[in-house]
Structure 1
């Protein structure tokens, strides 16, 4: 219906009442009356909703305050804690070990997430639309996945390095070196950049709105079959595969520790009970004599 078309005053009054109450069915009623193209009416109805009233403000802060507190604490603790780790590892030579290199890489990933991604998520709490443009929509979403994948891969690499060092301590001195750890970390970051590329094709910069044109940074709803596949893919890359590898690595570490404790317990028993130690020495002496061909045992 065009703007010049007559509209029943009772209908206008009903729409204005719904607008003042910020009714969720207002837009459905406008579509039903075919008034979407009536720009003046749409703008007037849009302005009647008391967005800045005290009740709306209280409700807004009740919803936002918990998330705001969590994001703020996460940001402060994450920046301070991870920054201290990076300074400690790279600022003191004696702190540079293969394990600490993986730990510093993990701290860098978490630090970047706190500095870049958390402020963006915090800004989303106060904005209905995406105002950072097309490039940032793609880049920040991609960076979130990269940092998450990098954290998972660094934890996985650290678990494998610790497993090898504990099970083969002598070989680990020549294998688990700082140089190889640095190369491994660089490889894991490159792998993270590659594994995170599918999100670039899923996330879109979408134009929405009738009265006011705004943009959302959201998943592409037109590719309904691709988004669930991407979620499964991210689950496997970030949780499933690293979780299985870390479980196996730390399981082997636990078995090795149990074996060492069992051997130490046996040695302690020989020291506590001398007869066990004497019997063991006699048995070993008899075995040596047999091997040498002692005449007493021929």
Structure 2
């Protein structure tokens, strides 16, 4: 899982810990990560069950839409804040941190290589 088609966290490990990346990301580890992601996805998406209701639509063919439960006036702002944190703020913070670490590590490597080319010892 350390190839070019990987996710940004994999890129972080591949750049910051290249040797550890090959040893850590084996098939058994990946299966555990996939199961963890599915369980967390279900748990983190669960609040929508309590916030929305089914509304019947259609005259000839009955169907249902999930719509906002307007009687839940207190819980909707809480849910909206939860979703903003979950979907926007938290992923942005994680990506900012990992890409900062990657840039810092690349800066160190470039500086070391420049010193080696110039014949200086760091």
On whether the aligned pair clears a TM of 0.5, the verdict is: yes
Equivalent residue for 2:104? 255
How far apart, CA to CA, are the structure 1 residues paired with 2:88 and 2:13? 22
Do the aligned partners of residues 207 and 174 (structure 1) sit closer, same or farther apart at CA in structure 2, a change above 3 Å counting? closer
Equivalent residue for 1:167? 16
Helix, strand or coil: the match of 1:204? strand
Residue 205 of structure 1 contacts residue 216 of structure 1 at CA under 8 Å; is this kept in 2? yes
Whichever structure has more helix as a proportion of its residues is: 1
Do the aligned partners of residues 193 and 217 (structure 1) sit closer, same or farther apart at CA in structure 2, a change above 3 Å counting? closer
Equivalent residue for 1:117? none
Segments of 4+ moved more than 3 angstroms: 214-217
Equivalent residue for 2:37? 188
Residue 234 in 1 paired to residue 88 in 2? no
Per-residue deviation at 1:239? 1.6
How far apart, CA to CA, are the structure 2 residues paired with 1:230 and 1:250? 29
Unaligned runs of 5+ in 2: 58-62
Residue 165 of structure 1 contacts residue 176 of structure 1 at CA under 8 Å; is this kept in 2? no
Superposed, 1:98-113 pairs within 5 Å as 98-99=1-2, 103=6
Do the aligned partners of residues 253 and 189 (structure 1) sit closer, same or farther apart at CA in structure 2, a change above 3 Å counting? same
- TM-score of the two chains, using structure 1 as the length reference: 0.35
Helix, strand or coil: the match of 1:245? helix
Helix, strand or coil: the match of 1:218? strand
Per-residue deviation at 1:181? 2.3
Residue 204 in 1 paired to residue 48 in 2? no
Superposed, 1:44-193 pairs within 5 Å as 98-99=1-2, 103=6, 158-193=7-42
Q: How many residues align?
A: 115
Residue 52 of structure 2 contacts residue 69 of structure 2 at CA under 8 Å; is this kept in 1? yes
> RMSD of aligned C-alpha atoms?
2.5
Equivalent residue for 1:224? 73
Give CA deviations for 1:62-85 in whole Å, capped at 9, x if unaligned: xxxxxxxxxxxxxxxxxxxxxxxx
Equivalent residue for 1:243? 92
Per-residue deviation at 1:217? 3.4
